[in-house]
Amino acid sequence: MNDLSGRTGLVVGVANKRSLAWAIAQAAAGAGAQLVLTFQNERLEENVRGLAATLPRAPLLLPCDVTSDEQVKALFTTIEQEVGSLDFLIHGAAFAPREALTAPFTQTSREAFHVALDVSAYSLVALAAGAAPLMAKRGGGSIVTLTYLGSERVVPNYNVMGVAKAALEASVRYLAADLGAHNIRVNAISAGPVKTLAAAGIAGFSSMLQLYRERTPLKRNIEGAEVADMALFLLSHASRAVTGEVLFVDAGFHAMGM
């Protein structure tokens, strides 16, 4: 049911081997998909190229700083020229300045707020707009982004990222409404804490992992592969009637009151 043979997908947000976007890329490639991977800058290009070399089929590698309209436009122009169309988009881009994750939320600067919302939320809108015409060529497609419970509840030291994730989840719903007529589905996965590059910027992250182990119904933390499995479901024919949703992969933590 999760066979992606003959499908082509764009994965944005791979930084290193611990990235959830990378776990999804590996799973999608293993399911038969041909991938396009992006890298933000020259510093991350080497990491992405090294990871790409381990995939069963060589992906197309392209630069894309999601804060640049010119680079986003160039990305989809090249994809159309080189690949022709797209079946899915994985959005894993997220960032907030470190000081915005350590100082009290009331001290969030205008610039930090702008950066967090631009990279973590607006980038989904920009990428969806670019991908939609290429998905329409295929008769539809699936867009999946990554979020976290901090969008709904206060999580210590998550601060402006919680606000950005709330905006991201609202964007999922509005994009689902806009693109549904073209048979393009838009969903989010709300993952439990995983040791990624982004998580390293959150103070007290080790304590968060311990709290999850103690309080989740499953009494454990999650793994990137479990997020990837949910993504495969959302990319597959099995989820053809699912759109505008936030699906939790957090060992049940979100269901608990205390």
Pairing status of strand 141-147 against strand 184-191: parallel
- Candidates 122, 158, 174, 212; catalytic one: 158
* 155: Cα within 13 Å, side-chain hemisphere: 27
Phi-psi region of 65 (alpha: psi -120 to 50; beta: other; left: phi over 0): beta
Pick the closest to residue 123 from 66, 84, 183, 58 (CA basis). 66
Angstrom distances, CA of residue 101 to CA of 49, 62, 115, 155: 30, 30, 13, 11
Strands 184-191 and 88-91, by their bridges, are: unpaired
Is 158 a catalytic site residue?
yes
Contacts of 135 (CB under 8 A, 6+ apart): 85, 86, 87, 88, 89, 141, 182, 184
The two tokens of residue 185 are 């589905």
Amino acid making up residue 53? A
Runs of H (alpha helix) within the chain: 20-30, 42-52, 69-82, 110-117, 123-136, 160-179, 205-215, 224-235
The one catalytic residue among 122, 148, 174, 212:
148
Task: Please indicate whether residue 148 is annotated as part of the active site.
Answer: yes
User: 209 with 192: CB under 8 angstroms?
Assistant: no
Question: CA 57 from chain center: how many Å?
Answer: 22
Could you give the residue numbers annotated as active site?
148, 158
